[in-house]
Amino acid sequence: MVNLNIKAMRYLSPEDFRTLTAVEMGSRNHEVVPSSMITQLAKLRGGSCTKSLSVLNMTKLIARMPKSNYDGYRLTYAGYDYLALKALTKRASVYAVGNQIGVGKESDVYVVSDQKGKQYILKIHRLGRICFRSVKNNRDYLRNRKTGSWMYLSRLAAAKEFAFMKILHEHGFPVPTPIDYSRHCIIMDLVDAFPLRAIEKVLDPEALYTKLMGLIVRLARHGLIHGDFNEFNILVYESGEPIIIDFPQMVSTSHADAKYYFDRDVECIVHFFAKVLKFEGPVPKWEDVMAMEKLEALDLLAEASGFNKKQAKELERYRENQRKMQEEGAEEVDEFEGEVDDDDEDEE
Ligand SMILES: Nc1ncnc2c1ncn2[C@@H]1O[C@H](COP(=O)(O)OP(=O)(O)OP(=O)(O)O)[C@@H](O)[C@H]1O
């Protein structure tokens, strides 16, 4: 499991930071970045780069491949966290990191604050944290790609989530206010509301049901499907107003499986209300919604904002692979258990 290593943040010298940035640059096309290349990219004298590499390795911001004599390093999740948080602090979006309030398979969620003490949410995307050891395909999608893909995919997920949150926010949808993002990290408003999953009774289930189905329909008229519209991703204010979170899996209504995703979102709400809140209401139909007058195409706007089709496909391929592996009953492996430094290696 990867933890946010805040302690290491304060003590890096400018040379260490340059070296870390050089490892990140080299990671774009090298699984393990040769030390000679790191020195070149960091534009430091050989001696001071070697010293920095040793500091970064000790603080686990970079790592050597276990059981390898190869003279090179790769960026660890902790190193990537460091770079992202450094950028966010420099832009004054984050000043202090507080408690972790959520840990999903593919993200960690923290409360952070700015210099004035106002609290926000930091969501760190961690795609590729869980890899699969499959009987049928003993090498899975991530392993088949160049490493660095966890970095690339996590960055894509964050970019996608931020782009969609921004567009939805600008078009009056009830979503947290997006504040900033860097690499695989997003900063958004902290919503002071309860997740629907934790609510057993609401004052007016009909009103909430109508609002939620209304949101699914309005999104679809704007060309979008949430794709994971369930009690975990719906927060409800005490006033009964819902607010929606978690957008990396959103798809366009022009997607080949759009009807499936739309029906699944609708079914999640129908099921939760019937089972927990004992309420049944009218169920929107895909065909009826598609026949309604279209509203501004937000799916195209998201694409134009920099999150293009190729990137969407990459993320989708990854998710599809994870789903298949799960269905096959492949063994889950925490990829970052493997983030060892030389000391850990000796203990094996
Ligand atoms: N803006 C926010 N304000 C308040 N709480 C939030 C916010 N964003 C996320 N959370 C909390 O963090 C939890 C996880 O967030 P989110 O669903 O975005 O991550 P996730 O990785 O998709 O989680 P999971 O894999 O469990 O679905 C949420 O259930 C919610 O309790």
Hey, what domains does the chain have and what are their CATH numbers? 6-188+333-346 (3.30.200.20), 194-307 (1.10.510.10)
Alpha-carbon distance 163 to 303, whole Å?
A: 9
Ligand 1 atom nearest residue 101's Cα:
12
The answer to whether 31 and 152 are in contact (CB under 8 A) is no
Report the nearest-CA residue for atom 1 of ligand 1. Answer: 190
Distance 177 CA to ligand 1 centre (A): 14
Report the nearest-CA residue for atom 4 of ligand 1. Answer: 191
Cα separations in angstroms, 213 against 148, 164, 251: 39, 19, 17
The answer to whether 74 and 61 are in contact (CB under 8 A) is no
Per-residue confidence (pLDDT) for residue 173, from 0 to 100: 98
Alpha-carbon distance 22 to 26, whole Å?
A: 6
Report the nearest-CA residue for atom 20 of ligand 1. Answer: 104
The per-residue pLDDT for range 32-53, each reduced to its tens digit, is: 899 999 999 999 887 889 999 9
Across 59-65, average pLDDT: 90
* Pocket mutation for ligand 1, best pick of 130, 168, 232 (most atoms within 8 Å of C-beta): 232
Distance 138 CA to ligand 1 centre (A): 32
Report the nearest-CA residue for atom 12 of ligand 1. Answer: 102
Report the nearest-CA residue for atom 14 of ligand 1. Answer: 102
- Which structure tokens are listed for 96? 């202090």
* Pocket mutation for ligand 1, best pick of 246, 250, 319 (most atoms within 8 Å of C-beta): 246
The residue count for the chain: 348
Per-residue confidence (pLDDT) for residue 346, from 0 to 100: 36
Distance 106 CA to ligand 1 centre (A): 11
From 16, 81, 140, 228, the catalytic residue: 228
Ligand 1 atom nearest residue 105's Cα:
25
Distance 318 CA to ligand 1 centre (A): 21
Segment among 37-41, 73-77, 235-239, 321-325 with least mean pLDDT: 321-325
Residue 246: active-site member: no
Listed in sequence order, the residues at least 6 apart from 214 whose beta carbon sits closer than 8 Å to its beta carbon are none
Across 265-281, average pLDDT: 97
> pLDDT band at residue 303, thresholds of 50, 70 and 90?
confident
Of 144, 132, 8, 15, which Cα lies nearest the Cα of 76? 8
Distance 126 CA to ligand 1 centre (A): 13
246, pLDDT greater than 70: yes
Sign of CA dihedral 217, 193, 307, 324: negative
Burial code (b: 16+ CB inside 10 Å, e: under 16) for 292-320 equals: eeeeebbbebbbeeebeeebbebbeebbe
Listed in sequence order, the residues at least 6 apart from 24 whose beta carbon sits closer than 8 Å to its beta carbon are 75, 79, 80, 83
Alpha-carbon distance 14 to 37, whole Å?
A: 18
Alpha-carbon distance 81 to 2, whole Å?
A: 10
Per-residue confidence (pLDDT) for residue 260, from 0 to 100: 97
User: 3-state SS of the chain?
Assistant: CCCCCCHHHHHCCHHHHHHHHHHHHHHCCCCCEEHHHHHHHHCCCHHHHHHHHHHHHHCCCEECCCCCCCCEEEECHHHHHHHHHHHHHHCCCCCEEEEEEEECCCEEEEEEECCCCCEEEEEEECCCCEEEECCCCCCCHHHHCCCCHHHHHHHHHHHHHHHHHHHHHHCCCCCCCEEEEECCEEEEECCCCEEHHHCCCCCCHHHHHHHHHHHHHHHHHCCEECCCCCCCCEEECCCCCEEECCCCCCEECCCCCHHHHHHHHHHHHHHHHHHCCCCCCCCCCHHHHHHCCCCCCHHHHHHHCCCCHHHHHHHHHHHHHHHHHHHHCCEEEEHHHHCCCHHHHHHC
Pocket of ligand 1 (CB under 6 A): 101-102, 104-107, 109, 121, 123, 176, 188-191, 195, 232-233, 245-246
Q: What is the mean pLDDT of the chain?
A: 87
The answer to whether 154 and 311 are in contact (CB under 8 A) is no
Q: Kindly report the CA angle at 110 between 265 and 194, in degrees rounded to 5?
A: 45
Per-residue confidence (pLDDT) for residue 138, from 0 to 100: 47
Per-residue confidence (pLDDT) for residue 183, from 0 to 100: 95
The per-residue pLDDT for range 101-133, each reduced to its tens digit, is: 987 778 999 999 999 999 999 999 998 776 666
Distance 252 CA to ligand 1 centre (A): 22
Distance 98 CA to ligand 1 centre (A): 15
**Half-sphere exposure for 300 (CA within 13 Å, toward CB):** 7
